[in-house]
Chain A
Amino acid sequence: MSGVRLLVGTRKGAFVLSSDGRRTDWKIDGPFFGGWEMYHMKGSPSDPNRIYASQSSGWFGQLIQRSDDGGATWNPVGNDFQYEGVTGTHQSFDGTPHPWEFERVWHLEPSLDDPDTVYAGIEDAALFKSTDGGSTWEELSGLRGHGSGPSWQPGAGGMCLHTIILDPSDAERMFIAISAAGAFRSDDAGKSWRPINRGLRSGQIPEEEAEVGHCVHHVAQHPSRPETLFMQKHWDVMRSDDGGESWYEVSGNLPTDFGFPIDIHAHEPDTIYVVPITSDEQHFPPEGKLRVYRSRSGGNEWEPLTKGLPHSNCYVNILRDAMSVDRLDDCGIYFGTTGGQVYASSDGGDSWNAIVRDLPAVLSVEAQTLP
């Protein structure tokens, strides 16, 4: 029987949760790298035993760990992330120019077909690539250098490149997103980039429909419909049907359209999931009720999913990389909270159970579907 492995990054270490295809009994391994912030872990689609993990600390900086045995053992690989060429500046919080400075790796995206190739999204926002299993890293500097870089400004969480999507239908096409610059697309495997933010509207910036400056929280793409993208923005849930050339709002009847994660059902490209959060000033669910909202129509019409989730006194947040889906026939949905719970649904979101309740604050959840 096939199984599922969840790679859970937390504020104080990494955990590997595994189950067979029934997804009723879970084995919890960890903490790995106890005491370190594990912003993200992700396995290679072409070799699920190859997993990359971002390990960082305010004291001791950044490391990248690699496992070649499904997370049982780990080895540090390269941590030398040096911006290419003249570093230049971006905008600081106060609007003054600030030199680009490496802070941490937010997201690791292994290649779809080569386990040794992996991309890293970092703070201060830039995109790096390794083709030797994470030993060495090279910046894809066309992103920072495409023109608008000096005007980028950090969001409250830092100026992070947090989303990397490798288009399964076109090896040359990539999407990335940055808080608070927006979404960008490359059609030449990362050499050159352009902003794709037309249709986004952000009341928190002076020019609401500016080409860059939008606080995109997360973007999701279904592999069977690569031209369609769904975005959870700071406020607003957005959709594009033309590879990001233009966006329109699909927040519809959500109780609030602020939130962080967004994900798509593995087998239904019009079924999407978000977790509404009260506001940018109150990062917890409205009314203290933890509800995942599902749209089966690609947006606009949303239904709350509440069975098995706390109905009161719940004041956690769900961060942008902390939701994932498996690819089993009955699609599993998973998300982790800043309160340390990891919730699972093995029926497309109709009902939920907590796999574990008392981990450190969860930063990321990635599901691997195992043969």
Chain B
Amino acid sequence: MIRVVLPAHLKTLAGVSGEVQLDVVGPVTQRAVIDAIECAYPVLGGTIRDRVTMERRKFVRFFVCGEDWSHEPADTPLPDAVVLGNEPFVVIGAMAGG
């Protein structure tokens, strides 16, 4: 199980509270995790990454084990701590604007 922390607005849209836990098929990468989020919560389609380009939206960030993974390639394997469920994959809205 992969643990995922969503920002408040996306938790509201998805109708969840706290962390969510997701099964990820195959290698655990950013792309696979976002695929799993969108599969479990279709309402989040287009909110984390662009529907057409599939690129991360510019004011969304991915934090992993205390590091910013936003600019890592989408298919880079995530650390074992995330794969084993010891650390969450954090989706966060960037500090920008008011």
Contact = CB atoms under 8 A, between A and B. Distances in A.
Interface string A60-84: 1111000000000000100110100
A76 B51 CA distance: 16
Interface string B7-29: 10110010000000000000000
B47 A58 contact: no
A57 interface: yes
A36 B59 contact: no
Secondary structure at chain A's binding surface: helix, strand, loop or mixed? loop
A102 B50 CA distance: 10
Interface string B51-64: 11000010110000
Contact of A60 (B52, B60, B97): B60
A76 B9 contact: no
A79 B59 CA distance: 18
Interface string B63-95: 000000000000000000000000000000110
B61 to A, nearest CB: 10
Nearest to A35: B9
A35 B11 CA distance: 13
Contacts of A36: 9
Contacts of A62: 46
B47 A82 contact: no
A60 B51 contact: no
Secondary structure at chain B's binding surface: helix, strand, loop or mixed? loop
Contact of A102 (B13, B52, B59): B52
Interface size class of B (residues with CB under 8 A): 10 to 19
B89 to A, nearest CB: 17
B97 A63 contact: no
A80 B9 contact: no
Contacts of B9: 35-36, 57, 59-60
Contacts of B97: 58
B48 interface: yes
B93 A60 contact: yes
A79 B46 contact: yes
Contacts of A82: 51-52
Given A35-B9, A76-B13, A79-B45, A59 B51 contact: no
B46 A80 contact: yes
A59 B45 contact: no
B93 A59 contact: yes
B39 interface: no
B47 A61 contact: yes
Given A36-B9, A59-B93, 20 more contacts: A35-B9, A57-B9, A58-B59, A59-B59, A59-B60, A59-B94, A59-B96, A60-B9, A60-B10, A60-B48, A61-B46, A61-B57, A63-B43, A63-B46, A63-B47, A76-B13, A79-B45, A80-B46, A82-B52, A102-B52
Interface of B: 7, 9-10, 13, 43, 45-48, 50-52, 57, 59-60, 93-94, 96-97
26 contacts: A35-B9, A36-B9, A57-B9, A58-B96, A58-B97, A59-B57, A59-B59, A59-B60, A59-B93, A59-B94, A59-B96, A60-B57, A60-B60, A60-B93, A61-B46, A61-B50, A61-B57, A63-B13, A63-B43, A63-B47, A76-B13, A76-B43, A79-B45, A80-B45, A80-B46, A102-B52
